[in-house]
Amino acid sequence: MPGIVVFGRRWSVGSDDMVLPAIFMLVGHIIWLGALSYIFSKVEFDPASECSRELKDIVLGYIVILLACIIVESIITLISVRGSILETQPRLSMQYLLYIRIGKS
User: What average pLDDT score do residues 68-95 get?
Assistant: 85
Average per-residue pLDDT in the chain?
86
Q: What predicted TM-score, i.e. pTM, was given to this entire model?
A: 0.80
User: What average pLDDT score do residues 29-36 get?
Assistant: 95
Residue 105 has pLDDT above 70, yes or no: no
Q: Which among 65, 69, 60 has a CA at the least distance from the CA of 26?
A: 69
DSSP letter at 11 equals: -
Q: CA 80: distance to chain centroid?
A: 14
